[in-house]
Chains A and B, each alone.
Chain A
């Protein structure tokens, strides 16, 4: 089959999925007595129609890039990291703590220190399931999930009893030296949108990960470990080291997601700020087929969905917006399979036609 046809299908797939999911969503909207066209036009004009909307979308996308990468790098090594949520919470809390307690440091030291704190905090939450997997063979799915509970409870305790502003569920502010500038500081038109420099750090992380996976010998070994454990061992690769290292790296990346909120937006850590970014990251990674660059794009797509759902809140209930999001994801996943099958069938027909010609 021609490459062009194939490419056509690859583009047509997601587009078709969007159309179908919006059609299904439209039925729901009509059922509750609203006008689907009005809802959709608001959805698109508010997200992509102006710079403020785009800024909001990018703000929503930023943590998803980090958590998407955190899941993807582990998938590439054959590991299921379900713990990005916990890693993110710990990382974000560490950033808030360091940004406040080491407030006397100048920005040039404090900024890297905060970022490092986020990475190390998340990495600690990744290395534990990594060590358990490599030494005892304990399954990382269970352990990363358990680590999520520990992270949530631990941070809950600290934010309620140890490091907090009375009568709130957040920590004291970090000092201004630890702030990451918003992009409206550089581009006036983003005015008011919370998107900040951590977006570029996220994109940079994606690029670095791309290089790591495909240009370095360690990335080669990591992929070998994920694709065929036996062959990796046969090739003298220390697969256990890669398991530990990759879960640690994944944890660190998830921890960095905390930058967006703590250093770039509210300047404190608040319980429940993540809105499940750790879990959505898994979906982002799967949809992007664990490709770091694809994760940036997929995260922006999820950003559109998330922020778009907020904007239509004025017309339809929030639950409907959530339903719409879920329908889109389901449609894309199902349709990509349907299209694969269709291509196989088309090929059969073309062979049969050729033979009979």
Chain B
């Protein structure tokens, strides 16, 4: 008998088949990794199990009994809990209030018994060493803390089967270690854990068994101890990926981006960027490492002219930036492609000229030049392998990886000296990541100056020539990549080590 068994699950969105005849089994008390490229159907399958989607066909068995899961509350009743990639927490409420949401303990008059709930939570958090402060407000706590809250929320509802959708990209190396300790403890208590992830090294460390998906189908299930990363990668993408493009040594002469003691306020009016001085030279990639929310996003917005800065000076090339407004001539891969980088209801072709619509190449007087745009778009689609190759398809209908490729293609095709890439590969699959990494390196080799912001330390270490660590709005340290390692950077990211006086 399996804790979870899904049989012949099929789910379509329009013409797109997200899951095709999927059979998936998980033993009780194991950590089962579900891996696959983006758009392989992992998240869809788990959202079906959690009741977000209903399958078009197929059956689900929990502990051997056939069940109908129409909505998340059905899943919760059956002991299934899910930690989503994007947390479902309400920022102005406290930890306790968030956790009991939907399962509030009240007395006969309908009045909340918050102290009781807080006490239960404290016990629960001690048992699992998930350190939390029940009275803290969500908006004041870190991402790692929020994730612990999400896990506690599930435990508070007595979940026996726990699904985690890509829990690690947002965590620091230390936080990942802590999370894995918690998962192992949960396992030892007999809970069943399903882990969706992209990272093969993590899979090898923590899981018992691994199921691999590709193009909406299951391509295999393996015992972790009898497989290798190479085999898994091959199963995931159906082919081996080549080694990355090598970096050409580049003797940089000219500073392209110059920032002198820049400070800028965040959305809540407090300084989010403090006294940042940083230069990026031509032919150089500078990686900004840091736990999310330490001012990286605001820094990028300032450079892109989307956020005013209060103090300091910034210049790009020979152009100096106005502190209050002004769109800049730079290539900008924004961290949130859905909010900034794309207009989902615009077609692929329309999105490929977003930000370039006033260039004389694409318009004649006030009229858009459709034929020119079309040939330019076809060229980009081809060289960046955007699929499907349908110019008139709205961006909404592309997979996450292809949406990101649209943004990257558009931005890298601009003829400008500076590229700012913020979380350029978040949530993408191995092949897309590889493609984008190679694109960035080849732009660097052409002499572009690149500022890379990423919460994936591996990515920073792989691509950067120099690494700047940002902590609480300040650049606390700049390393040459060759002179440092993950541990040392991690210390600066968490503030355990600060600027040497």
Chain A contacts to B: CB under 8 angstroms: 215-218, 220-221, 223-224, 227-228, 230-237, 347-348, 351-352, 355-356
Contacts and interface: CB of A to CB of B under 8 A. Distances in A.
A224 B367 contact: no
Contacts of B57: 351-352, 355-356
B334 interface: yes
B170 to A, nearest CB: 21
Nearest to B364: A217
Interface in B335-354: 339-346, 350, 354
Nearest to A232: B343
B8 A355 contact: yes
Identify the interface centre among B58, B306, B334, B357: most chain A CB within 10 Å of its CB: B357
B306 A233 contact: yes
Contacts of A218: 366
B98 interface: no
B421 to A, nearest CB: 14
A351 B327 CA distance: 48
Contact of A352 (B56, B327, B350): B56
A21 to B, nearest CB: 30
Contacts of A215: 367-368
A227 B306 contact: no
Contact of A351 (B12, B332, B339): B12
Contacts of B367: 215-217
Interface in B24-65: 56-58
Contacts of B431: none
Interface in B301-347: 304, 306, 327, 332, 334, 339-346
B363 A231 contact: no
B219 to A, nearest CB: 19
Nearest to A229: B339
22 contacts: A216-B366, A216-B368, A217-B358, A217-B363, A218-B366, A220-B368, A224-B343, A228-B343, A230-B339, A231-B339, A231-B341, A231-B354, A232-B343, A234-B306, A236-B327, A236-B358, A237-B357, A347-B12, A351-B56, A355-B8, A355-B10, A355-B57
A227 B8 CA distance: 39
Contacts of B368: 215-217, 220
B73 interface: no
Contacts of A228: 339, 342-344
A86 B485 CA distance: 67
Interface in B347-390: 350, 354-355, 357-358, 362-363, 366-368
B137 to A, nearest CB: 26
Contacts of A235: 354-355, 357
Contacts of B358: 217, 236
A310 B483 CA distance: 86
Contacts of A230: 339-340
Interface residues of B, number: 30
A321 B334 CA distance: 55
Nearest to B370: A215
Contacts, number: 71
Nearest to A349: B56
Contact of A234 (B8, B58, B304): B304
Nearest to B369: A217
Contacts of B341: 231, 234
Contacts of A231: 339-343, 354
A29 to B, nearest CB: 42
A334 B343 CA distance: 28
A234 B357 contact: no
Nearest to B305: A236
The 7 closest A-B pairs by CB, nearest first: A236-B327, A235-B355, A351-B56, A355-B57, A352-B57, A234-B340, A217-B363
Contact of B10 (A217, A237, A351): A351
A348 B56 contact: yes
Contacts of A227: 343-346
Contacts of B21: 355
A170 B340 CA distance: 52
A227 B340 CA distance: 11
A348 B304 CA distance: 45
B300 to A, nearest CB: 11
Contacts of A234: 304, 306, 332, 334, 340-341, 355
Contacts of B344: 227-228
B16 to A, nearest CB: 12
Contact of B346 (A216, A217, A224, A237): A224
Given A227-B346, A355-B10, A217 B340 contact: no
A236 B58 CA distance: 48
A291 B1 CA distance: 57
Nearest to A236: B327
A236 B355 contact: yes
Contacts of B346: 223-224, 227
Contacts of A223: 346
Contacts of B332: 234
B350 A220 contact: yes
A230 B357 CA distance: 16
Contacts of A217: 357-358, 362-363, 366-368
Given A216-B368, A227-B346, 10 more contacts: A215-B368, A217-B367, A218-B366, A232-B343, A234-B332, A235-B355, A347-B12, A351-B12, A351-B56, A355-B56
B225 to A, nearest CB: 35
A347 B327 CA distance: 45
A223 B394 CA distance: 14
B17 to A, nearest CB: 8
B258 to A, nearest CB: 22
Identify the interface centre among A216, A228, A234, A356: most chain B CB within 10 Å of its CB: A234
A241 to B, nearest CB: 13
Contacts of B343: 224, 227-228, 231-232
A229 B491 CA distance: 38
A221 B327 CA distance: 15
B340 A221 contact: no
A317 B8 CA distance: 61
A236 B304 CA distance: 10
Contacts of A233: 306
A160 B69 CA distance: 68
A235 B340 CA distance: 8
A235 B362 CA distance: 15
Contacts of B304: 234
Identify the interface centre among A215, A236, A237, A348: most chain B CB within 10 Å of its CB: A236
A352 B8 CA distance: 11
A221 B354 CA distance: 9
Given A352-B56, A352-B57, A355-B8, A220 B357 contact: yes
Contacts of B342: 228, 231
A152 to B, nearest CB: 36
Contacts of B56: 347-348, 351-352, 355
Contacts of B362: 217
Contacts of B58: 355
A230 B343 CA distance: 9
Identify the interface centre among B341, B354, B358: most chain A CB within 10 Å of its CB: B354
Nearest to B353: A220
A233 B350 CA distance: 16
A227 to B, nearest CB: 5
Contacts of B10: 351-352, 355
B373 to A, nearest CB: 10
A92 B222 CA distance: 77
A139 B10 CA distance: 46
